[in-house]
Amino acid sequence: MSKQEFAPGLEIQDIAAPLSLRDFRLIAFDMDSTLVTTECVDEIADMVGKKREVAEITEAAMQGIITDFKESLRRRVALLKGVTVEQLQRVYTERVRLSDGARELVQACHAAGLKTLLVSGGFTFFTERVRAELELDFVRSNLLDIRDGVLTGGLQGQSWGDICDGQEKRRAVLELASLMDIEPAQAIAVGDGANDLPMMQAVGLSVAYHAKPRVRAQAKVAINSGGLDRLLEVLRP
């Protein structure tokens, strides 16, 4: 089945829409430029006058030009050395906004019985706050190394590893599906960048949200205009 316009600004391929949301059990979201409108690492960098350098690395990673996401993240985090926790909080308070329709989509998923996972190449400082705001069930993301209230320019290892890259996103989704005793086909993955492709390719329904061309081309659903809740036009509650 070739890609077709399901509605203005909404494309589908390889599915016969509309589908039922209740046929799925799990939905995984990327955070930056997906659940929230910003790239948090870029906004942190802007606080210390390094947004251009960090944003260039971010864009190259999301486009797939830089293929080693772990190395690209380490390079960006190193540029954040000296940022304070107070500055991180200012970024969250002043600059991080939920994407249009995010709350409505999450609420519809919970009402239909789906578990929600936030899996991000971003940082726990932000993902935990977004998790609380949206009442998400699970989260996996990167942990900034902070000493005496100041970023050291490094990351801390966690029980599952050191950096949540594309392969770790895929592993997290499949691991949770296994723990829930469901098939990957019963999971949905929503993202916008190249490091979201591994998890999007592993599940039953892949959703590109205002995504890079490479991601949009491979997704079964592409939301090109409007909010995240437009997925409910394809997945009826």
Residue 146: name the closest of 225, 44, 31 by CA: 44
Give whole-number Cα distances, 43 to 25, 87, 202, in Å.
34, 10, 31
Residues 228 and 100 sit within 8 Å (Cβ to Cβ):
yes
Joined tokens for residue 220: 């079964």
Residue range 179-184: mean pLDDT, rounded? 98
For 95-137, write each residue's pLDDT tens digit. Answer: 999 999 999 999 999 999 999 999 999 999 999 999 999 999 9
Pairwise CA distance, residues 61 & 59, whole Å: 5
Return the active site residues: 30, 32
pLDDT at residue 1 above 70?
A: no
DSSP classification of residue 186: G
Report the SS3 class of residue 214: helix
Q: What is the largest CA-CA distance in the chain?
A: 56
Domains of the chain with CATH codes:
4-38+98-236 (3.40.50.1000)
Residue 60: pLDDT band with limits 50, 70, 90 = confident
